[in-house]
Amino acid sequence: MSTAPRDAGAEATARTPLTLVRGEERQPAQRHTRRSYAAGLGFVRTLAQRVAEDVTGAMERDPAAGSRLEVVLTSPGLHAVWGHRAAHALWRLPGGRLPARLLATGVRFATGVEIHPAARIGRRFFIDHGMGVVIGETAEVGDDVMVYHGVTLGGRSMARIKRHPTVGNRVTIGTGARVLGPVEIGDDVQIGANSVVVKDIPSGAVATGIPARLRFPKKGGLNQWVDPAIYI
């Protein structure tokens, strides 16, 4: 065993693990800061991408949209969705439920759209015109879904169970339609204006009327986004 005296620097190195990054010695605290900074940057980048794809979706589905800036500044549907995303994030934090409800109430006041903070909403969700949309606590909505004003994804039971609809991907729900209860709406479904849906709808169907009746258009026979200019 060596009895050679160790120098102070070597002793410090043995006590505190150091890392060489580009020739510099970094303490663990510095590495932590660096990682937090990278995570923060990643979060901001993802957020910006999500906002950009929301705006692109709105431009594609609203023929009245003039420019991206106009959509960002004036679309109550987008504002409601962004507000909901913030409220949903708060809802999932310990102690975040009251602030989430308060935020959702503020968003409702500003946009006329009431989405419970617990509702799960997919990517590129677009609400045209905003006003009068209600989405309940246990609702689940897939990606690329579009709803018009006055749509309700509501419950039919007072029990604290899954009581709101589950909506698939690429679904369009016309103005004033009500989808009630824990029904399953498949992918690529179109629900007509003012329809009332109380039963499951298989993928690819068009549902209209009260209670909604189903028909199955030929593939490619129906636009994914129904041109609102036709109906306004």
Ligand X SMILES: CC(C)(COP(=O)(O)OP(=O)(O)OC[C@H]1O[C@@H](n2cnc3c(N)ncnc32)[C@H](O)[C@@H]1OP(=O)(O)O)[C@@H](O)C(=O)NCCC(=O)NCCS
Residues classed as catalytic: 149
Query: Could you say which of 30, 169, 194, 203 contacts ligand X (CB under 6 A)?
Result: 194
- Total chain residues near ligand X (CB under 6 A): 17
Q: Which stretch binds ligand X (CB under 6 A): 92-100, 104-112, 162-170, 223-231?
A: 223-231
In 3D, which of 219, 194, 221, 216 has the Cα closest to residue 205? 216
Q: Where in 125-144 is the site for ligand X (CB under 6 A)? A: none
Q: Where in 43-102 is the site for ligand X (CB under 6 A)? A: none
Closest approach of Cβ 45 to ligand X, in Å? Answer: 34
**Amino acid letter, residue 70:** E
Q: Which stretch binds ligand X (CB under 6 A): 15-23, 29-37, 153-161, 190-198?
A: 190-198
Chain mean position to CA 83: 10
Q: Which stretch binds ligand X (CB under 6 A): 29-37, 50-58, 155-163, 189-197?
A: 189-197
Instruction: Confirm or reject binding of residue 192 to ligand X (CB under 6 A).
Output: yes
Assess contact for 123 and 114: CB atoms under 8 A.
no
Closest approach of Cβ 193 to ligand X, in Å? Answer: 4
3-state SS of the chain: helix, strand, coil percent to 5? Answer: 35, 20, 45
**Neighbour order of strands in the sheet with 140-141:** 120-121, 140-141, 166-167, 184-185
Instruction: Confirm or reject binding of residue 196 to ligand X (CB under 6 A).
Output: no
Instruction: Confirm or reject binding of residue 231 to ligand X (CB under 6 A).
Output: yes
Calpha distance 49→5 (Å, rounded): 57
Helices and strands, counts by H and E, the chain: 6, 17
x/- track of binding to ligand X for residues 154-183 (CB under 6 A): --------------------xx--------
Calpha distance 139→141 (Å, rounded): 7
Closest approach of Cβ 211 to ligand X, in Å? Answer: 11
In 3D, which of 1, 6, 30 has the Cα closest to residue 18? 30
Closest approach of Cβ 168 to ligand X, in Å? Answer: 16
Helix (H/G/I), strand (E/B), else coil: 122: coil
Retrieve residue 111's tokens. 């946009």
Closest approach of Cβ 65 to ligand X, in Å? Answer: 13
| Sign of CA pseudo-dihedral 64, 67, 70, 76 | positive
Give contact residues for ligand X (rule: CB under 6 A).
148, 174-175, 190, 192-195, 206, 208-209, 217, 222, 226, 228, 231-232
